[in-house]
């Protein structure tokens, strides 16, 4: 795996983490805003992600499992965003739907992280170990 692939995997891993954290841990905040003000203007910021900007060429650097995991995770993100942008359901129903959607998103997120971390770990194991220099007293001039 080359350096570009490692960077793409890292960016995708961090992006999925940030999206998941916003959706899950800010639920009360964005749902209160939705219920109290009857506006959807804030949802694009909640669901903003970098995956929409990733090219197919960049994805070719990822393993098959990672690509499937990305598709499943961002599909769930898209479903939840779409629902919130178009629903006419009552606030209680919306809250229930969002809670269920977050549970599904969490499962997809956990699987995606597992695939990405496995791919990153397999790369680390395939790298030759770094040659470590044996410490000498000259390296630590202040040590007496």
**Is residue 130 assigned to a domain?**
no
78-89 pLDDT, tens digit each: 999 999 999 999
Confidence of residue 91 (pLDDT cuts 50, 70, 90): confident
Dihedral in degrees, nearest 10, Cα atoms 90, 96, 102, 103: -160
**Is residue 71 assigned to a domain?**
yes
The total domain count for the chain is 1
pTM of structure: 0.82
- What angle separates helix 64-86 from helix 91-126, to the nearest 10 degrees? 160
**Is residue 143 assigned to a domain?**
no
Average predicted confidence (pLDDT) for the chain: 89
Domain that holds residue 86: 3-125
DSSP string covering 41-68, please? TTHHHHT--SGGG--HHHHTTS-HHHHH
């Amino acid at each position: 795996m080359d350096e570009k692939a490692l960077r793409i995997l890292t960016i995708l891993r961090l992006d999925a983490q940030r999206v998941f954290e916003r959706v899950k841990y800010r639920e009360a905040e964005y749902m209160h805003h939705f219920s109290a003000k009857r506006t959807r203007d804030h949802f694009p910021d909640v669901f903003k992600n970098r995956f929409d900007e990733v090219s197919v060429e960049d994805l070719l650097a990822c393993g098959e499992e990672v690509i499937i995991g990305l598709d499943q995770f961002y599909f769930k993100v898209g479903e939840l965003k779409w629902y919130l942008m178009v629903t006419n359901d009552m606030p209680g129903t919306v809250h229930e739907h969002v809670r269920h959607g977050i549970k599904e998103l969490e499962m997809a997120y956990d699987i995606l992280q597992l695939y990405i971390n496995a791919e990153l770990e397999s790369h680390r194991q395939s790298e030759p170990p770094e040659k470590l220099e044996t410490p000498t007293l000259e390296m630590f001039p202040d040590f007496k």
